[in-house]
Structure 1
């Protein structure tokens, strides 16, 4: 049986979002690409993958209505994304795939690639895309890059929680995400030897992920994205314009 998919669709703490404001919608995941909302596109991709259940963590009334319209399972949110994942995991257990509601280009094959690419005995894996792949798929796209010995990488908001050690896995995910724009902090947490390897350009992304996991007592792994578009989410109006262009290149 394929794992369930959790889609994070919570609101920002301050309630402000440039995409929602630009589109005139109450929440950015209700912005449309063609005839479908961002959230609907992600739910459809999860179902096409064959997810045993599609769950959406949301806390905005209009988003909750959209979840019900789509027939997905509505879950409450917590104080932040990682806490919302932990809350959902109490319901689902392992394994669980996690993504975000603004991952509007999500394809079923990417979910399958993450699961298939996760080595045996791995507790948590995450998908990242190489800069060359992203720039080939979306020339001119502005991403946040993590630069290590094997090049520049961008996160894909795709995580696979494979075993019951998820509380520790969520901690690893939270720390990497919190420092995604400050990779030296990720390295520093792992000790001076690892920090030196980072500063001297010897630490690869796979090594960084593996050592983060080992430091907190789990087995963590990187799965390289099969498509650079996997790194594109909708954080700002320019991202939405890019998603629309990529979703319908004829326009």
Structure 2
């Protein structure tokens, strides 16, 4: 059985209207089923045997709850999401046995995450993959969450959305950190991001001529690692709460069933 150290970025913020309803500006501390989304995530991780240690990236308010709920470390955030993950790896490097060969990276805004969902996700992750990204067809996601506010990307082989749980090789992540930082800072411009993979590929993406396997092949060449698109990932890894609409819809799914 492969073991994973888990790193959880937990420093995301929500807008004022959403915060007024839920009583916090920190996404990870949004209340959910009698606890917070952070506690909900920690419970899911602690429910599976494959997770060895859990590192949370967050401020003092997050740290208090994370430590009470059994996180192994809480680290103040840096200036970017990629650097936050690197901080977690550096802490793991400082432990006597170092980090696991692969990391489990996940956001703390997944209301339907559970130990069963994580076990299902990990069961289909290839042992030889350096990077595993959940990629779900629209029809699969909407069968679980009909009429959801999720955003889908149109490709040649259908409409797709990505999830928020990833497996990545520790050494590969550190090697790619400069590239990830660059991509992070250009993330608000689709063209800038796409052009990093080349103008031909960018054009094929924006004209819906690419397939998921072709994107994986291009990613492997660009990143110099073995990538895997996890098309059998559970839909629950892709339903995240970014705004009030997502939150209200999640409660509808929870209290009234899937036919919403």
Alignment of 1:184-199 (within 5 A): 186-199=193-206
Structural mapping, 1:111-130, within 5 Å: 111-130=118-137
SS across alignment from 1:96: strand
Contact in 2 for aligned 1:137/1:227 (Cα 8 Å): no
**Taking structure 1 as the reference length, what is the TM-score of the superposition?**
0.84
Equivalence for 1:217: 224
> Are the counterparts in 2 of residues 130 and 152 from structure 1 also a CA contact under 8 Å?
yes
Which of 193, 203, 207 lines up with 2:214 in the alignment? 207
Structure 2 counterpart SS, 1:246: helix
Distance 2:238 2:185 in 1: 17
Residues 16-165 of structure 1: pairs in structure 2 closer than 5 A: 16=15, 18-50=17-49, 51-59=51-59, 61-73=60-72, 74-92=74-92, 93=99, 94-165=101-172
- Residue 96 of structure 2 corresponds to none
Q: CA deviation at 1:241?
A: 1.9
User: 2: CA distance between counterparts of 1:226 and 1:11?
Assistant: 24
Q: Deviations over 1:57-116 (max 9, x none)?
A: 111x32211112212121222112111011112233331100011112112344334434
Deviation at 1:162, TM superposition (A): 2.4
CA positional deviation for 1:5: 1.5
Task: State the Cα distance separating 1:180 from its structure 2 match.
Answer: 7.3
Q: Is the 8 A contact 1:150 1:205 kept in 2?
A: yes
What is the alpha-carbon distance in structure 2 between the residues aligned to residue 40 and residue 24 of structure 1?
16
- Check conservation: 2:152, 2:159, Cα contact below 8 A: yes
Task: Flag structure 1 segments of 5+ consecutive residues without an equivalent.
Answer: none
2:174 alignment counterpart = 167
**Aligned partners of 1:143, 1:179: CA distance in 2, in Å?**
22
- CA–CA distance in structure 1, aligned partners of residues 215 and 179 of structure 2: 11
Aligned to 1:2: 3
Name the count of aligned residue pairs.
247
Deviations 1:154-189 (A, max 9, x none): 121111112512124556666777777876655432
- Alpha-carbon distance in structure 2 between the residues aligned to 1:200 and 1:123: 29
Distance 1:112 1:177 in 2: 29
Q: Residue 235 of structure 1 is aligned with which of 226, 232, 242? A: 242
Q: Structure 1, residues 6-59: CA drift from partner, whole Å, max 9, x if none? A: 1110144xx855432321224232222221111111111111122111221111
Match of 2:129, SS state, is: coil
Cα deviation, residue 234, structure 1:
0.8
Q: Flag the 1:172–1:212 CA change in 2: closer, same or farther, 3 A.
A: farther
Give 1:238 deviation, angstroms.
Answer: 1.7
3-state DSSP class of the match of 2:20?
helix
- Cα pair 1:104 1:234 within 8 Å, conserved: yes
> Hey, what's the Cα distance between the residues in 1 that align with 2:184 and 2:231?
17
Unaligned runs of 5+ in 2: 93-98
For 1:124 and 1:109, the matched residues in 2 are separated by 21
Distance in 2 between residues matched to 1:170 and 1:115, nearest whole Å: 24
Taking only aligned residues, the RMSD between alpha carbons, in angstroms, comes to: 2.8
Q: Give 3-state SS (helix, strand or coil) of 1:49's partner.
A: coil
